[in-house]
Structure 1
Amino acid sequence: MRYIVTILLIPLFILFVSACSSKENNIGPINLTANSEFFDGYPNLSPTKETLAFVSFREDNYEIYTLNINNNELKRLTQNQVTDSNPIWSPYGTKLLFEQNHGGDNFEIHVMNSDGTNQFRLTQNTIFDGFASWSPDGSKILYQSSISRNDPKSFEIYTMNSDGSNQLNITNNKYYDGFAKWSPDGSKILYQSNRTGNIHLYISSVDGAQQTQLTSGISNNQSGQWSPDGSSIVFISNRKGTQELFTISPDGTNLKQITQLGAYSSSPKWSPNGKDVIFVSSSGIGDNTKFEIYSVAIKNNKTQRLTENTFHDSNPIWSSKGSKIIFQSSTHDNVDIYMIDFDDN
């Protein structure tokens, strides 16, 4: 009898251990920066290895740091008395673009090696140059500048070679043009402009010779992002009243609403496989309003809330394989960078 009881108890023990293991493996948000006193934000993950570049105020100034998320190795890359921000990895992970303040509203674009060496200023203007991004092959840089009219509220879109040469204004008008993104093959540039009164999406050739308006109407359409294969564009629009996510083909066809949260949504980012989009959306009313991270599946518009807390979560990015999401979360006194698992099933 004792033998039979033992045999019966073994499966129960296995189930118990299995349940405990599953619970332990179901890890919640991991605080990557764990800095209880100062700002850590604007995460950008290397495309070639799990190294996170970010901005931190931990040394009494906004500086660029890197963090290896596998072994927690932290390294400070910039060391000066001015603000450095918005680090952007090159396609092969060997260099970083960043913005540096040169007094007042004057931010300029700089570049450095991934270890912080060979820091070099690329733009030489008097107002603002920033929001830079690399072309897919790393040979060119796309950015916004307000230098052409000396008006910090009215931007133009420029391209330049990766060494700062051949700076070219590709929009060249008296309106706001911004939030420019390279197509995955590097042949086109997606951007937004208020030249018609409302904000709409446009597609330009790299030299600016061909400009096509993608969206139209009395709504605002913004924050466009190319899908990984370039066949679709996700963007934010208030055409149905609240700010929701839509997709559209680059030729202007196949317009589709993919979220219906009835809230303020922003910051859409495609997953590496193009199956999902993460974004930020608001919840609550008035002083209780907060921002959380959501995902939406492209095939069926299934929307999931990925974070739920009393803080503001923002600036989400994907890991290179799409299995994790990194974002910043703010309390009343602090901002840290967190990571969560993602399962598109």
Structure 2
Amino acid sequence: MKKRLFLALSTLLLLNCKSERQELEGHIGRPDISPDGTKIVFIYAKDTSKDVWEIYSANIDGKNVRQLTTFPEARIKKGPVWSPDGESILFHADIEDGSQIFTISANGENLNQLTQLPGYNVEPTWSHMGNEIIFNSILEHGKTKIYIMDKKGSRIRELYNPDGENWYPRKIIGDKILFTSDFKQRGTYNIFQMDSNGSDFRQLTFLEGINWFPEISPAMDKIVFHSNRDDPKLSDSGNYNLYLMNTDGTEVERITNLPGQELHAKWHPDGDKLIFEWHDPTSKGLYLLELSTGAVHKIRLVP
């Protein structure tokens, strides 16, 4: 009896230790939420100086972590985005002498390279209906421009690009495009909107520093973005917070004030929650922000 009790207690202790060890540690970022709100996708590398960055999925509560890509020839993969139908995931990967755009099925099968273009082809996102993909393309020593193609990677074409570096395009509805640019503002990046041919060109934010990664809400009435306006340096380092504003650029409001960097926010389909990555010396990982209460919860990623 004592022996059985000892074995049971030992097994329980080992299971508890295993459970504690299983939570992912390292660089975790660039999250997105599935269209039905039940799953997330993200990038992960235990040691960013040595390991290949792969794409993982998990339940929205962080359970059932699963590696989707095993793609060692592309050391860094970024920007995974669920398709509107939830069937596939779009991302870019550094390969050979540049970056190319890929899709993979949500279950990790059917890896498909969509672009074979010179330079760096990065930050792809789906159009609202999922029939097109809009992305950035950067030729060597060239400016960052906005391109678009159909969902199979054909009919690639350059859209209107104002003079400057034009980042993070989102085709939000119809022909409207949301993006970040340093247009006539060297050293400062603000958020703009236009039609794909350059008409109805409007600057939405007039803030110092870097204002990046705009994402429109499911109801199409709010835009979230991250900004270092309180520590305005042309750098990826420093303090970044999340901000919310109306789609016309009015009522800009800071919604996080954590130490370090709150980055790459994405909307939950219910429109009342955001998932984001938070980095500071003591906290690294994915977090969920409830807009109605301001509560922030860590998503503990456990296989």
Q: 1:239 to 1:313 in 2, by over 3 A?
A: same
* C-alpha displacement of 1:159: 2.0
* C-alpha displacement of 1:97: 3.4
Q: 1:308 to 1:101 in 2, by over 3 A?
A: closer
For 2:67 and 2:290, locate their aligned partners in 1 and report how far apart those are by CA, in whole Å: 35
Counterparts of residues 1-345 of structure 1 (less than 5 Å): 63=24, 86-101=30-45, 104-111=50-57, 116-117=63-64, 119=66, 121-128=68-75, 129-147=77-95, 149=96, 151=97, 154-195=98-139, 197-227=142-172, 229-241=173-185, 242-282=188-228, 283-284=230-231, 290-299=239-248, 301-307=249-255, 309=257, 311-315=259-263, 316-325=265-274, 333-334=282-283, 337=287, 339=289, 341=291
Contact 2:88 2:105 in 1 (8 A): yes
Q: 1:338 to 1:145 in 2, by over 3 A?
A: closer
Contact 2:190 2:205 in 1 (8 A): yes
Name the SS for the 2:193 alignment partner.
strand
Name the SS for the 1:155 alignment partner.
strand
Q: 1:200 to 1:59 in 2, by over 3 A?
A: farther
Q: 1:86 to 1:250 in 2, by over 3 A?
A: same
Name the SS for the 1:322 alignment partner.
coil
* C-alpha displacement of 1:59: 5.2
Consecutive unaligned residues in structure 2, runs of 5 or more: 1-18, 294-303
For 2:58 and 2:243, locate their aligned partners in 1 and report how far apart those are by CA, in whole Å: 33
Name the SS for the 2:240 alignment partner.
strand
* C-alpha displacement of 1:89: 3.5
Contact 2:123 2:136 in 1 (8 A): yes
For 2:70 and 2:278, locate their aligned partners in 1 and report how far apart those are by CA, in whole Å: 32
Which deviations, in whole Å up to 9, do the C-alpha atoms of 1:167-203 show, x marking residues without a partner? 3322212300111001121100011011271001111
For 2:38 and 2:198, locate their aligned partners in 1 and report how far apart those are by CA, in whole Å: 36
For 2:34 and 2:258, locate their aligned partners in 1 and report how far apart those are by CA, in whole Å: 35
Aligned-partner residue type, residue 294 of structure 1: Y
TM-score w.r.t. the length of structure 1 is 0.63
RMSD between superposed Cα atoms in Å: 3.7
TM-score w.r.t. the length of structure 2 is 0.71
For 1:335 and 1:144, locate their aligned partners in 2 and report how far apart those are by CA, in whole Å: 23
* C-alpha displacement of 1:133: 1.9
For 1:309 and 1:109, locate their aligned partners in 2 and report how far apart those are by CA, in whole Å: 28
Higher mean alpha-carbon deviation, 316-325 vs 197-206, is at 316-325
Greater Rg by CA: 1
Contact 2:33 2:266 in 1 (8 A): no
* C-alpha displacement of 1:82: 7.6
For 2:110 and 2:29, locate their aligned partners in 1 and report how far apart those are by CA, in whole Å: 24
Contact 1:156 1:177 in 2 (8 A): yes
Contact 2:243 2:252 in 1 (8 A): yes
For 2:154 and 2:102, locate their aligned partners in 1 and report how far apart those are by CA, in whole Å: 13
For 2:81 and 2:30, locate their aligned partners in 1 and report how far apart those are by CA, in whole Å: 10
Aligned-partner residue type, residue 210 of structure 1: R
Aligned-partner residue type, residue 213 of structure 1: E
Which deviations, in whole Å up to 9, do the C-alpha atoms of 1:230-269 show, x marking residues without a partner? 4422111001212110012244432211111133211211
Higher mean alpha-carbon deviation, 211-220 vs 269-278, is at 211-220
Contact 2:210 2:227 in 1 (8 A): yes
For 2:243 and 2:231, locate their aligned partners in 1 and report how far apart those are by CA, in whole Å: 15
For 2:29 and 2:244, locate their aligned partners in 1 and report how far apart those are by CA, in whole Å: 27
